[in-house]
Structure 1
Amino acid sequence: MAACAPRYDPNAPALRTGYTCCNLHFEGDWISDGNYGDEPFIAAGTPVKVYGMSGNVAYAEIGGRLMRLGHDYGRKQESLQQWVEKVVVTKDPKVRLATFPAEVQEAIRIGKMLEGMTKEQAIMAVGYPLTSDTTSLDAPVWHYWLSSFDQYQLVWDKQGKSKVSADPGVKARAVYAPPK
């Protein structure tokens, strides 16, 4: 028997409030920790109020919309609460975003990678890598998915800068190409 969503009461105390850490992709009202890059997204820095958790789902109001945060894949590596604490942050990332170079800001605004991004910038742009595929943010390679069939990797050099590795068609969809 599936658990029912807790009734939303805008006046009830929130379990967690803050902002989306990064661009969070969704389908309908579902935001998965898979964060498939081909789906539309809610922008980094959008206000969030988490009002309930049940099983592997957190219930939230995000930017005025009722959404479900689904911990689909990384359950063995982290708890639902740990994942929610990663994606709902207390400091608005838009403040930090404003300090980045213009082309990095644009890549993040449109939800794409830009080669040479730092880990912080990559997370803002495309979210956290799945913990089931990338068990540590210290790993030299992070794994991401545009869809359930299209994977790409971020390879980190010794200076902490990214390089995207993927099939050319996937890379073209995942990487921002600034105008010349």
Structure 2
Amino acid sequence: MSVLPALACALAAVPAAAQKAVADGYLCCNLRVNGGWASDLNDPRSGGRVLPLGSKVVGLTYGTAQVDVEIDGAKVSLGNDYSRNLPMEQFAARWIVARDPTPEMRGWSSKMQQAVKGGRLMRGMERRQVLMAVGWPTLRNTPNIEDPVWSYPAANGYTYKVVFDEHWRVKAIDASEETKALVMMP
């Protein structure tokens, strides 16, 4: 008996729930979705709708360059478009977390909560708050998350950079005035 038919028989005997590779959880961060696709660029100019951080995620399957999940009853493919050097399991773990992150916000000022929920940045934010508000920077443009500058490029050519101080708080947003108006809390 060849290996492939034996493997197929073994997999057929495993219940479907046990074959599911993507863990259930919650969105770590606000996520922009166009139709059923969410790019890891998470570009605020891309249109579509925003799925709020803390949304319940039902894990479905891993694709070659995407993680298929269900959020609010709709199938969403989270595209690993610009972080391809990251293994899919690690990519998924960035965006899908085991615990709902929203209770963490209770101790923050109302302005900070409003900024994070609205996907906006403000000076003084901690790294975690930046991630929750605008998502992970792509690996292509910020290869080391320990660097004090995170670059967030977008498909249409604009870029903004989040600059952290020595305490990992946002000290500046390096961007055009138009882009600052889009990504910063007024």
TM-score (norm 1): 0.87
Which segments of 5 or more consecutive residues in structure 2 lack a partner in the other structure?
Answer: 1-15
User: Is the radius of gyration larger for structure 1 or structure 2?
Assistant: 2
CA distance in structure 2 between the partners assigned to 1:139 and 1:21 by the alignment: 20
Structure 2 counterparts to residues 125-140 of structure 1, below 5 A: 125-140=133-148
* 1:53-76 superposed Cα distances (whole Å, 9 cap, x missing partner): 121121110122111111111112
Match of 2:13 in 1: none
Q: Distance in 2 between matches of 1:42 and 1:99?
A: 22
Post-superposition CA distance 1:102-134 (Å, at most 9, x none): 111001111111121000000000001111100
Kindly provide the amino acid, as one letter, of the partner of residue 119 in structure 1.
R
Runs of 4+ with >2 A deviation: 11-15, 145-148
Counterpart in the other structure of 1:72 = 81
Counterpart among 79, 83, 86 of residue 91 in structure 2: 83
Distance in 2, Cα, partners of 1:146 & 1:26 = 14
For residue 24 of structure 2, give the secondary structure of its aligned residue in structure 1. Answer: strand
Match of 1:44 in 2: 53
Matching residue of 2:5: none
AA partner of residue 131 (structure 2)? I
Bigger CA drift: 41-50 or 146-155? 146-155
> Do residues 167 (structure 1) and 176 (structure 2) align?
yes
Closer/same/farther in 2, CA of residues 42 and 48 from structure 1, 3 Å limit: same
Q: What is the aligned residue count? A: 166
Which of 49, 66, 87 is the aligned partner of 1:57? Answer: 66
Q: Which amino acid aligns with 2:143?
A: T
Counterparts of 1:144-155 in structure 2, within 5 Å, are 144-145=152-153, 147-155=155-163
Give distance in 2, aligned partners of 1:68 and 1:98: 30
CA RMSD of aligned residues (A): 1.5
Higher helix share: 2
